[in-house]
Structure formats: structure tokens, C-alpha cells
A = this chain, B = another copy of it.
Amino acid sequence: MRSSKQRDAVLKVLRESCDHPTADMIYERVKEIIPNISLGTVYRNLGQLKDEGLITIVESSDTKVHYEGNLTDHIHFLCKSCCEITDVFCTPTVPAALADLGLQVESQKTVYYGVCNTCRDNI
């Protein structure tokens, strides 16, 4: 992967974003640095950065894909009403930490990542 100012700008924007922006939100922000960047370039770079493990995708129930530039270990609080995701940095007892923030947990969903047995056998 060669260096490019477009990719640097996309990564910089994502590192400085504490929300979980979609591709077009990132596009709008990157345009402030490189006004003539194209949306296709943003998508291509997001894909490459993801493949390199420099950014992650936030699992969402949205049609749009949400990106995350903060790789620090943390969990997400998702508002049922506005769907906004609040980052919560890990503490021994997460629900207690959320309660301190005034956030009342109604339900939770946990996703564990790894390689399933079928795939492991095929590699």
C-alpha cells in the first residue's frame, strides 16, 4: 500500500471522530481538508484501511455502514430512540458505569469474533 494524502486524510478524520460516521459523513469531513476528493476514493480508502486493520466497522442495524477509528477496547451504548452510539470505555462493571452516566440499560447484545469450525477446517 502506497501512501496517499487522500488516505491519510480519511484516517485522520476517522481518528478524530468520536461519533461513528458513515462513508458520506466522512466524505463531507474530508472535503474540508481536500475539497476535490471524490466519494469513490473515500469508499476505496475505507475498504483498504479496514483490510489493513487500521479501522473497524461498527455493527449496526442501519442500511449504511458505520466506521470507527478508535481501536481502544470499549463497548457501545445504542439509543433505541435516536440510534446514536455512545462509546463507553471499559470498567470492571459496565452497567454500573453506564448508570453513572445516567444511561439505563434495557437489553444488550454481545458479539464474539473468531473463526468457526468449518472455516478453520478449510484453511
**A60 and chain B: residue at smallest CB distance:** B59
Interface 1/0 per residue, A73-117 and B, CB below 8 Å = 001111111101110100000110010011111111111111111
- Whether A57 sits at the interface, judged by CB under 8 Å, is yes
Query: How many residues of A sit at the interface, in one of the four size bands?
Result: 35 or more
| Given contact pairs A57-B61, A110-B76, A112-B77, A117 touches B102 in the complex (Cβ within 8 A) | yes
Task: Tell me what chain A mostly uses at the interface: helix, strand, loop, or mixed.
Answer: strand
Is A54 at the interface (CB under 8 A from chain B)?
A: no
Q: Which residue of B lies closest to A79 (CB)?
A: B116
Q: List residues of chain B with CB within 8 A of the CB of A59.
A: 59-61, 109, 111
The 30 sampled A-B contact pairs (Cβ below 8 Å) are A57-B61, A59-B111, A60-B60, A61-B65, A75-B109, A75-B110, A75-B112, A76-B110, A77-B112, A77-B113, A77-B114, A78-B111, A78-B112, A78-B113, A79-B113, A79-B115, A80-B113, A81-B116, A82-B116, A82-B118, A88-B112, A94-B110, A95-B112, A101-B117, A105-B113, A106-B114, A106-B115, A107-B114, A108-B113, A109-B110
